[in-house]
Structure 1
């Protein structure tokens, strides 16, 4: 199904994801993203925390494919990111000339204001509430504001057991198409692309952080641990909630 600029904008539940997953099961992320650009001319969004997978997608989109219509980039400023993450956001915005949309909690615009509103260390006292306020609600608000038909994530099957059966294409709970172009790539393939193309990445990766989230909830990983073992250390939690 190919859309021309004059055709109606793609609507929810309009794609045969079983057929798409079969077609793109082992395709290069470039092919998957090219299909998205061709078939979803309006309402395509990249959601990213500027991890290494998201940076690869960004590089494919803006260095390689260079779509005429820029894909909005949705970033959730949880107010608890490492400074190194925020530095990478700004570096990437300039490098790729991003159409960047930043969303935060509704009633706080700084870490200090968040603590005054909800108390100190909410992430320890009620982590699901913390993630709802800083990620789940802002993401949904951002996707709605951007009239999202399909959103691109950087998730990969090898990142954690909770993602092991993920397809390239899914529907989210709102019926929007969810695209995971790196679903079948490995960590080594992802880093290989970064090195080959000189893609910027978070300097914390050089300090033992394999997956980088909020500063209070992220630790380095040891040899042999899976990539997201440093997130929510000491708990059984595997996802923040936006991909459940």
Structure 2
């Protein structure tokens, strides 16, 4: 089925084809499947990112890896990104940032996150990613069903607004699967995980999580916000930049 076929039709065919496949088989197949097209991986280099980054590096370390530097990340995240890029021999890392002109207009003093987190995420994450994904037919994410109720029915392949395919090879992995993979491959942990950060975003909007809390409870604490806008807007899975 050529790429001229509708995205939804290709997504349905791909999900049927890979329904009972492992994460490795889904990823390996997707990177070679003519129905998918040109692929990039998007990684936050967060708490669990190393598992999928390692999988990609083993299958094809020339796969474009897009890292969104919001310029509000923890210093530990930047250092971790540099460490993993070198250790995993990632050959095509692309660091994505918001345009200086947009920041001067919308967030000249760097305080937008204090009174409008949605606008800040759109400026520093959603729009830069949308621009970076132009020219790609699909992108790989590390999202998993267990992470939140909004991801409970996640499939391996998703239709992103009839424009692009979203690939979630780890959709069916649970917490133990991720930990086992990291242990078996002796992969380094994000340094903040040991300090109580099981989900890591921008420094101003991420706090430690107490025992018994949801792993994402530290993201935008004391607000109704659960997603940065890249994957979810108004409770619906939508294309990047729709916010």
Output the TM-score relative to the length of structure 2: 0.86
2:129 to 128, 139, 146: 139
1:62 is matched with which residue? Answer: 57
CA contact (8 A) 2:64 2:94 kept: yes
Partner secondary structure for residue 118 of structure 1: coil
1:89 is matched with which residue? Answer: 81
2:188 to 178, 181, 200: 200
**Could you list the runs of 5+ residues in structure 1 that have no partner in the other structure?**
2-7
Name the CA distance, whole Å, in 2 between partners of 1:220 and 1:83: 16
CA contact (8 A) 1:11 1:149 kept: no
Distance 1:43 1:11, change over 3 A: farther
Partner deviation per Cα, 1:21-64 (whole Å, 9 max, x = no partner): 3443453210111111221585110001012443211111223x
CA contact (8 A) 1:78 1:214 kept: yes
1:37 to 21, 24, 31: 31
Distance 1:154 1:36, change over 3 A: same
Aligned residue pairs: how many?
Answer: 230
Name the CA distance, whole Å, in 1 between partners of 2:51 and 2:83: 15
2:227 is matched with which residue? Answer: 239
CA contact (8 A) 2:43 2:65 kept: yes
CA contact (8 A) 2:47 2:198 kept: no
Name the CA distance, whole Å, in 2 between partners of 1:10 and 1:44: 16
**Could you list the runs of 5+ residues in structure 2 that have no partner in the other structure?**
233-243
1:21 aligns with 2:18: no
Matches within 5 A, 1:1-244: 13=7, 16-40=10-34, 43-63=38-58, 65-66=59-60, 70-98=62-90, 99-107=92-100, 117-144=107-134, 147-173=135-161, 175-244=163-232
Greater shift, 70-79 or 172-181, is seen at 172-181
Output the TM-score relative to the length of structure 1: 0.85
Name the CA distance, whole Å, in 1 between partners of 2:226 and 2:21: 27
CA contact (8 A) 1:25 1:184 kept: no
Name the CA distance, whole Å, in 2 between partners of 1:215 and 1:114: 21
CA contact (8 A) 1:53 1:182 kept: no
Greater shift, 128-137 or 26-35, is seen at 26-35
Partner secondary structure for residue 16 of structure 1: helix
CA contact (8 A) 1:48 1:153 kept: yes
